[in-house]
Structures are given as structure tokens and as C-alpha cells.
A and B are shown apart, each in its own frame.
Chain A
Amino acid sequence: MKDYALWTEGLRKQFGKTRAVDGIDLQVPHGSIYAFLGPNGAGKTTTIKMLLGLLRPDGGKFGLLDHEGPPDPRTLARIGYVPEIPGLYGFMTTRELVDFCRRLHPAWDHDLVDRYLDLFGLPRDRKVGGFSRGMKSQLALVLALAHRPELLILDEPTTGLDPLARKNFLQTVLAEVAQAGQTVLLSTHLLEDAQRVADTVGIIKSGRLVLQKSMDEIKAGEKKVRVVFQHQPPPWLQEIPGVRGLEQEGSAVVLTVTGDISVVLERVRTVPLFALEVIDLSLEQVFHEYATAPGRS
């Protein structure tokens, strides 16, 4: 597992009778931006909390950077974390909070902090308790980035950000992080954001990882084929290797295909057709296919 900045093997967590995380195997390559996607309640935050040692797993193994198991202080010094709702100390000013974190981190980049505080327009001498949720998210992000972590774990970081701050975050901050070779685990349900920045995608549904692929693999391997047959559609369509789903759209049949599409096209062309169209899927459509379609968990 040394090839991965973050990995899990059969990670499980149960709350009462509910299986929040049910044996997931995450593999986040070094230097990648990994979009961890899933509907609300799918188990994203529970997984992240287990990775950070805030929750104890019921089973399975995991590792961050070169450390296996819950991170110790030395590993935590190499990780940056932004939770969905940042619980920063409201009684401190921005300056005090920055100073508090600086004294706990062996590596601290003052210039980067100043630059990002200016970028987000965060006041330095105001109490954090008076900040809006978006401002707190921005400050949490600055604090998470300030020690130049090797691994950045972001749990819905753009929730509560206004469009400009979101753009700044995605275009400026993540671009710099990616350029520096830092690894990012980005948990989000904003698929547009994920599509823009991620190079690897994992989709979790009901606590299970239903897809884990690079963005290139998704673009190349996740398609829809729209076919209008001259006669009745043949009954063997769903048996073609790679066909995951079949829908009737008026006179057309739409096949959802994973993997090598040429096999599907070859088989379909053996039947008289009026029309055949291959449609690329956006990440949103892929997400819909895997995360919201029934029976895919």
C-alpha cells in the first residue's frame, strides 16, 4: 500500500443497527486529487472521521501516508483537514488562532497564510465567533494549508462559500496544491466542482464503494449507447458484456455501458438499425448511475 497516500481495506463502522461504512477499500494515489462522492448519509464523513482517528472502526485496516492505523501526532502534522462545519475557537481572533496553530506545527508558511487570508478577505483582528459559516470554512482551509500538508482531507469544504470564494478555492488553492504534488481527498456532493478538479473518483453509496476509477477511465469507459432498431429490440441486449443498464426512450433503447464499448457496438450492429449514437457521460450522469440508481449498492 506504499503506492497510496491513503488506503483502506474492508473498513467498517456500525452505529446501532445501521452500517454506516460497510467494508470499503479506498486507494488514493500520491499526488492525486481524489473526489470522494456520495449522496447525503452515504458514509463519507464517517469514513473521513475514522481516517483521522475521531471514530474507531469496527473492522478493517487503513493507513495515511506511511502510517498504518489512526494517525499519531507526527502523522497529523503532515495532514490538513477541513471539516464540513469547522469548529474553530470563537473566542480567538484570526491572528490568535493562526498563532495558536503555528506553535503546534513544526512547518508553517507565514507567507502562504498571509496570501490566502488576503485572497479570501478575512479580517485578522476580528473574533472568529462572529464569522459567517463561509468565512469559518475559508479560515479552516487556510489553517489546513498553512503547514503545507502532504495530505489534505476536505469534507465538503465549499459548502457555505459564496460563488467567488468557491471559485478562488477551486481555481487558485487546489491548483496550487496540485502543483505542489500534495494529495487531496475531496469529499463533496457538488459534482461540478469534482469534475473540474479531480483526477480520481470514488463513489460511496450506503456505506459501500460502488465505483473507484481515474477520471480518464470514467471518460473512456462510462458511456451510453442510444439505438433505434428497425424491428423489435433483440432480447439478448442486457447479456452483452459491459451493459449495465437498459432503458426504453420512445422508439429508442438506451444502453448504459461500462468498459470496452466496441464489443457492444459490434453486437448491436448485427441487427438492422435506423440509428446508433454513442453518448459520453458527464460525472453527474455517472454519479447518478452509480449512487442514485436503485440496486447498485
Chain B
Amino acid sequence: MGRVWVLTGKELNQLRVVLWVGTAVTLVFGLMVPYVYRFVVPMLPSPEMLRGFLGDILRQQLASYRSYLWTNWYGKNLLQNLTVIGIIVGMGAIAGERAKGSLSFLFTLPVSRCAVVAAKAGAASLVLACCTVVPTVAMWAASQSLSGYAVASDFLLGMPLAWAGAVAVTALSMLVSVFTDDLVKAGIGAVGACLLAALPGWFQSTRQFSIFWHMRGMPLLAGAPFPWSSLAPLLAVAAVSLWMTAFAVKRRDF
């Protein structure tokens, strides 16, 4: 276990730029959300005047500040940012090390390959947790203190779902990155895998099979209790992808 911590420390050191930039960019997005509501939304035409699909969406989003915040944060900004960060972290995990030639150094250190995968996943999870928690809490606090919009603290319950979804995206990207030593190909492969994972979410009848649908935590917005049935499949996708990554890393030529 001690060696996994040492490797995790190395991974965090390696991911520090992603950590700082990812957190900072997501934070900026987060802080913009309440201000957009305060200054931009009043300039929009009244949702009642809009017809069709766009009108329906706007009416749903602007029904209350809580629904606006939820759909723009968990449903859009945080989801998109975490997905991008997850892909970046995952695609570089193995393919990045191979491209730089450091994988043979890593794999000849006295650690098992499972430990290497566990450390990479652990560090990625910590980075994603930071990119989730800091901007979300900052946005929540900014909503109340700066903009004067009070949001119940159960808003913060969406964070575990967003984080678990991002970990699943990272794990999928890591699995793809085992099969190439080219970062660009790893990135394209990871995006492809995420598109496949998003596909069921585009249809009402299959949306429960989409990572991104569960990641949004919409039942929480509707006032339902914490949706463990959303968290469990996200963690399951992450666990299975990581297990497959460890399996592939043990058997691939490097």
C-alpha cells in the first residue's frame, strides 16, 4: 500500500498543471453562472413569449434559480468541464507515458502493474474531486453571498454524481490509452468511447444507460432522495474499466 501512495504522489505531481488549470477554469465557469442569471437573463425575452423546443427548455431552466443553477451547472458547465478533464487525464495515463518513453522506467520499478493503475486512478480521482468540489462550493457560496440567491445545501449533493461520472470517463479513457502510444489517437479514442457512452442518453427510453444522464443528478433537482441507483452504475463503469485497464496493462507489449 505504501508504494501505491508513493506512485500516487508522483501522479499528482505529474497532474498538477491539469489540477490547477482544471480547477481554475471550472471555478471561473462556476462564478459566472450566478452573474449570468443576474445580469444576462433579465435581458432575454420572456420564456412565455418563446415557442417550440427552445421555449420549453428555457421555461424549465428559468422556472427557479435552483433549476437554472442545476441545469447550467450539473447539466452543462461542470459536466462538460469534468468530461474534458477526465479525457485529458485518462488519455495521458498510459499513452502519455509510452509516448514520453517513461513507461518502461515505471514498469521496471519494483511495483506491480495493478499498483500503477491504482495509483493513476487514485490521483485522477483526487484531481477530479478538487475540480468538482472547489468550483461547486465557490459557486454555491457566491450565489448566496454575492448575488443574493439562496440555494438549499442539498444542491451540493449533486457533486458525488458529477465526480463519479468524471471518474468513469477517466477510466474509459485510460482503458483506451493502453492500446496506443500516440496521445492524439488516445484522445480521439477516448472521445469516441465517451460518445458511445453518451449515445443512450439521447433517447428517453435508453437514457438510464448513459453515464452522462446519471452524472447530471436530475432526480435530486426534482426533490427525490439521493439517487444511489445513479451513483452505483457510474462507480461500476469506473471499476470495470479500471479492472480491464489493469488486465490489459499486464498483458500488452510495451
**Is there an interface contact between A54 and B254, defined as CB atoms closer than 8 Å?**
yes
**Is there an interface contact between B107 and A54, defined as CB atoms closer than 8 Å?**
yes
Question: How far, in angstroms, from A55 to B107 measured CA to CA in the complex?
Answer: 11
Looking at B10, B105, B112, B254, which has the most chain A CB atoms within 10 Å of its CB?
B105
Given the complex, which residues of B lie within 8 Å of A76, measured CB to CB? 108-111
Does chain A have a CB within 8 A of B101? yes
Question: How far, in angstroms, from A100 to B107 measured CA to CA in the complex?
Answer: 14
Does chain B have a CB within 8 A of A30? no
A-B contact pairs, 19 of them (CB 8 A): A49-B104, A52-B104, A52-B107, A54-B107, A56-B251, A73-B110, A73-B112, A74-B110, A76-B111, A79-B108, A87-B102, A87-B105, A88-B105, A89-B10, A96-B13, A100-B10, A104-B7, A104-B110, A104-B111
**Is there an interface contact between B13 and A92, defined as CB atoms closer than 8 Å?**
yes
Given the complex, which residues of A lie within 8 Å of B108, measured CB to CB? 52, 54, 76, 79, 81
Given the complex, which residues of A lie within 8 Å of B6, measured CB to CB? 100, 103-104
Does chain A have a CB within 8 A of B3? yes
Question: How far, in angstroms, from A105 to B7 measured CA to CA in the complex?
Answer: 12
4 closest Cβ pairs, A-B complex: A87-B101, A77-B110, A87-B102, A76-B110
**Is there an interface contact between A87 and B111, defined as CB atoms closer than 8 Å?**
no
**Is there an interface contact between A105 and B253, defined as CB atoms closer than 8 Å?**
no
Given the complex, which residues of B lie within 8 Å of A72, measured CB to CB? 112
Considering only CB atoms, which chain B residue lies closest to A75 in the complex? B110
Given the complex, which residues of A lie within 8 Å of B115, measured CB to CB? 73
Does chain A have a CB within 8 A of B58? no
Q: How many A-B residue pairs have CB under 8 A?
A: 68
Looking at B3, B109, B111, B115, which has the most chain A CB atoms within 10 Å of its CB?
B109
Number of residues of chain A lying within 8 A (CB) of chain B: 30
Interface membership of chain B positions 6-32, coded 1 if the CB is closer than 8 angstroms to chain A and 0 otherwise: 110110011000000000000000000
* Residues 228-254 of B contacting A (Cβ, < 8 Å): 251, 253-254
Question: How far, in angstroms, from A86 to B105 measured CA to CA in the complex?
Answer: 7
Given the complex, which residues of A lie within 8 Å of B14, measured CB to CB? 89, 91
Interface membership of chain A positions 67-100, coded 1 if the CB is closer than 8 angstroms to chain B and 0 otherwise: 0000011101101010101111111100010001
Does chain B have a CB within 8 A of A220? no
Given the complex, which residues of A lie within 8 Å of B110, measured CB to CB? 73-74, 76-77, 104-106
Considering only CB atoms, which chain B residue lies closest to A53 in the complex? B107
Q: How large is the interface on B (under 10, 10 to 19, 20 to 34, 35 or more residues)?
A: 20 to 34
Does chain B have a CB within 8 A of A175? no
Does chain B have a CB within 8 A of A101? yes
**Is there an interface contact between A91 and B105, defined as CB atoms closer than 8 Å?**
no
Considering only CB atoms, which chain A residue lies closest to B252 in the complex? A56
Given the complex, which residues of A lie within 8 Å of B133, measured CB to CB? none
**Is there an interface contact between A88 and B102, defined as CB atoms closer than 8 Å?**
yes
Given the complex, which residues of A lie within 8 Å of B7, measured CB to CB? 104
* Residues 137-193 of B contacting A (Cβ, < 8 Å): none
Does chain A have a CB within 8 A of B103? yes
Given the complex, which residues of B lie within 8 Å of A101, measured CB to CB? 109
Question: How far, in angstroms, from A28 to B101 measured CA to CA in the complex?
Answer: 28
**Is there an interface contact between A54 and B104, defined as CB atoms closer than 8 Å?**
yes
With both chains docked as a complex, state the minimum distance between the C-beta of B29 and any C-beta of chain A, in angstroms: 27
With both chains docked as a complex, state the minimum distance between the C-beta of A204 and any C-beta of chain B, in angstroms: 19
Considering only CB atoms, which chain A residue lies closest to B100 in the complex? A87
Question: How far, in angstroms, from A92 to B13 measured CA to CA in the complex?
Answer: 9
Beyond A91-B14, A140-B105, list 13 extra A-B contacts (CB 8 Å).
Answer: A55-B253, A55-B254, A73-B111, A79-B108, A81-B108, A87-B97, A87-B100, A87-B105, A90-B100, A96-B13, A103-B2, A103-B3, A104-B111
Question: How far, in angstroms, from A92 to B10 measured CA to CA in the complex?
Answer: 9
Considering only CB atoms, which chain B residue lies closest to A89 in the complex? B102
